[in-house]
Structures are given as C-alpha cells and as structure tokens.
Amino acid sequence: MGARSQIVLFSDKDVLGYVRFHDEGMPFPDDVEQSDGTVYMHLPSAELRNVLDVLRNEAPVSFYFASGRAFLGTQSEPIGEGE
C-alpha cells in the first residue's frame, strides 16, 4: 500500500473509496477508479487534518473521480441552512 494512513469513505453500507495519505519521500501513486467504481485518492500526510475537518464538519460531502483525478469536496447549501 505504501500509505501512512487511510480513510475509508462509505455511502450507506457500500465503500465509495479510500483517501490514502503519504509522507514526503514515500511513493505517491496516481488517483485511480477501479472497474467496480471504487476510487483511490492519494494526498500528502500534511492534508490529513484538513480532510478530517471537512468530513466532521461539512455536509453534504461529495467524493468522485473525473478527468483522471479524485475529488473530495462540499456542496452548496440552500440559503438559510444552519451550521
């Protein structure tokens, strides 16, 4: 695997993908989407805290693969939506 740590992302009971974190100097593979739709995203270990913050505090969160890259982000909320 070559990753320092990993977060597994689920939708209901299905695995959407993995966010793998690599230290400087470790192998850093390209993001990929497997034939079954599972996405593997690779980020520097320095981003672990930021990713955890988004997953804990933001909703809804999207995770997908497009143009050869994996993306993790938030979606816009309706006006007046509370935190």
Nearest to 43 by CA among 7, 79, 81, 82: 7
SS3 41: strand
Output the six-digit token pair for 1: 């695997």
pLDDT at 12 (0 to 100):
87
Task: Tell me if 16 sits within 8 A of 63, measured CB to CB.
Answer: yes
Task: Tell me if 33 sits within 8 A of 55, measured CB to CB.
Answer: no
What's phi and psi for 9, nearest 5 deg?
-105, 130
pLDDT band at 72 (very low <50, low <70, confident <90, very high): very high
- pTM of the full structure: 0.84
For the stretch 6-61, pLDDT in tens is 999 998 889 999 999 999 888 889 999 999 999 999 999 999 999 999 999 998 89
